[in-house]
């Protein structure tokens, strides 16, 4: 299986290779034994959108630099987990187009134990948002819930830190690769989590974060989790994207109400109007999880 994982990871590193392209290749060659055989791609029905895309992928498949990058992951304690591995999160498998590969550093056992609760919110968290987390987390952590968030500024960072403070476990899902933690202010937190908790990404470790990757990683945050809790969110917020993914996958959505005069609670209040469960205490979440 390790050899297959290395081949799938190499394919995953190739520029321009989409989720669907990987699916088509796996359908024709489930073990990827012909991955480096150019004639396989020439003789098969079109697996790529254009001749240029094929040429670029073949160039990357024969790149010794990429081979060397992948070989360095294990010495750096980075685990390659494919969709076919036992360690892959069961709930994430149930989502639409789950990542073929995730790269993980830390305690990968956290992906299989739970339950997991996604906690997201504004990057400009106020004292109210921090106090809400301090109010809810002791009971949630006591019952063994693992906190999942995006290692972003604001609510995300506070959620990770409070989980650690109360002796809980936490998972960070990042945009970009594990070698490029963003924002810089949370690098120390990320490194601590890589030692004692877990940080994961669907992007190869050398990938620098791009703007479009942030909403994409939100589907993993909600995809891993039984439910998603929104604490402070503006009307147009990445947190609402996470909530929308959770709804699409049939997961619970929770929201903490806030002042109608605060822009930072406008999105959270709208979610409650739309049917998200209003959360005042940890029991409001635990009741749903127990049910």
- Assign residue 246 the CATH number of its domain: 3.40.50.450
For every residue of 21-75, which 3-state class applies, written as one string?
Answer: HHHHHHHHCCCCCCCCCHHHHHHCCCCCCCHHHHHHHHHHHCCHHHHHHHHCCHH
Statement to judge: residues 191 and 54 lie in one domain: no
Is 188's pLDDT higher than 90?
Answer: yes
The string of pLDDT tens digits covering residues 82-120 is 999 999 999 999 999 999 999 999 999 999 998 999 999
Residue 63 falls inside a structural domain: yes
Neighbours of 35 (CB within 10 A): 17
Q: Which pair of tokens denotes residue 47?
A: 């697996």
pLDDT value for 39? 79
Statement to judge: residues 119 and 56 lie in one domain: no
The string of pLDDT tens digits covering residues 57-83 is 888 988 889 989 999 999 999 999 999
Please state, in angstroms and rounded to a whole number, the distance separating the CA atoms of residues 47 and 62.
18
The string of pLDDT tens digits covering residues 248-284 is 999 999 999 999 999 999 999 999 999 999 999 999 9
Please state, in angstroms and rounded to a whole number, the distance separating the CA atoms of residues 41 and 45.
8
Q: Which pair of tokens denotes residue 99?
A: 């990542």
Handedness of CA 139, 135, 289, 186 (dihedral sign): negative
Please state, in angstroms and rounded to a whole number, the distance separating the CA atoms of residues 93 and 254.
22
What is the edge-to-edge ordering of all strands in the sheet holding 146-149?
79-82, 101-106, 198-201, 170-173, 146-149, 116-121, 227-231, 252-255, 277-278
Please give the backbone phi and psi of residue 106, each rounded to the nearest 5 degrees, phi first.
130, -150
Statement to judge: residues 131 and 58 lie in one domain: no
pLDDT value for 141? 97
Residue 98 falls inside a structural domain: no
Question: Which residues make Cβ contacts (< 8 Å) with residue 94, sequence separation at least 6?
Answer: 223, 249
283-285-287 Cα angle (round to 5): 65
The string of pLDDT tens digits covering residues 226-243 is 999 999 999 888 889 999
For every residue of 229-259, which 3-state class applies, written as one string?
Answer: EEECCCCCCHHHHHHHHHHHCCCEEEECCCC
Statement to judge: residues 44 and 173 lie in one domain: no
Please give the backbone phi and psi of residue 141, each rounded to the nearest 5 degrees, phi first.
-65, -40
Is 45's pLDDT higher than 70?
Answer: no
Statement to judge: residues 62 and 194 lie in one domain: no
Statement to judge: residues 136 and 248 lie in one domain: yes
Residue 268 falls inside a structural domain: yes
Q: Residue 54 — pLDDT band, cuts 50, 70, 90?
A: confident
Statement to judge: residues 245 and 185 lie in one domain: yes
Q: Which pair of tokens denotes residue 166?
A: 């109360």
Which domain range does residue 159 map to?
A: 108-290
Q: Residue 2 — pLDDT band, cuts 50, 70, 90?
A: confident
C-beta separation of 245 from 253 below 8 A: no
Please state the domain count of the chain.
2
Helices 213-224 and 238-248: crossing angle in degrees, nearest 10, is 50
Statement to judge: residues 239 and 129 lie in one domain: yes
Q: Which pair of tokens denotes residue 60?
A: 């990357």
Residue 89 falls inside a structural domain: no
The string of pLDDT tens digits covering residues 113-169 is 989 999 999 999 999 999 999 999 999 999 999 999 999 999 999 999 999 999 999
pTM confidence score: 0.94
Between 198 and 235, name the one with better pLDDT: 198
């Amino acid at each position: 299986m390790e050899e297959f994982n290395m081949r799938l990871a190499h394919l995953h590193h190739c520029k321009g290779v989409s989720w669907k392209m990987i699916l088509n290749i796996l359908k024709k060659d489930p073990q990827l034994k012909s991955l480096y055989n150019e004639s396989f791609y020439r003789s098969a029905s079109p697996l790529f959108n254009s001749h240029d895309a094929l040429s670029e992928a073949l160039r990357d498949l024969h790149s010794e630099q990429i081979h060397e990058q992948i070989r360095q992951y294990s010495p750096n304690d980075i685990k390659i987990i494919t969709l076919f591995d036992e360690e892959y999160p069961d709930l994430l498998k149930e989502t639409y187009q789950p990542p073929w590969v995730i790269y993980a550093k830390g305690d990968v056992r956290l992906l299989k134990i739970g339950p997991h609760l996604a906690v997201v919110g504004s990057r400009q968290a106020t004292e109210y948002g921090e106090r809400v987390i301090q109010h809810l987390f002791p009971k949630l952590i006591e019952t063994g819930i693992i906190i999942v968030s995006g290692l972003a500024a604001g609510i995300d960072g506070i959620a990770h830190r409070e989980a650690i403070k109360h002796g809980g476990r936490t998972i960070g899902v990042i945009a970009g690769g594990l070698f490029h933690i963003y924002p810089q202010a949370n690098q120390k937190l990320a490194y601590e989590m890589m030692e004692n908790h877990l940080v994961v990404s669907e992007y190869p470790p050398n990938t620098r974060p791009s703007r479009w990757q942030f909403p994409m990683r939100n589907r993993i945050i909600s995809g891993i989790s039984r439910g998603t809790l929104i604490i402070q969110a503006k009307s147009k917020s990445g947190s609402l994207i996470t909530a929308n993914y959770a709804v699409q996958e049939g997961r619970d959505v929770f929201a903490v109400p806030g002042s109608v005069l605060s822009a930072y609670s406008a999105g959270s209040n709208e979610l409650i109007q739309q049917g998200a469960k209003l959360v005042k205490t940890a029991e409001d979440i635990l009741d749903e999880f127990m049910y």
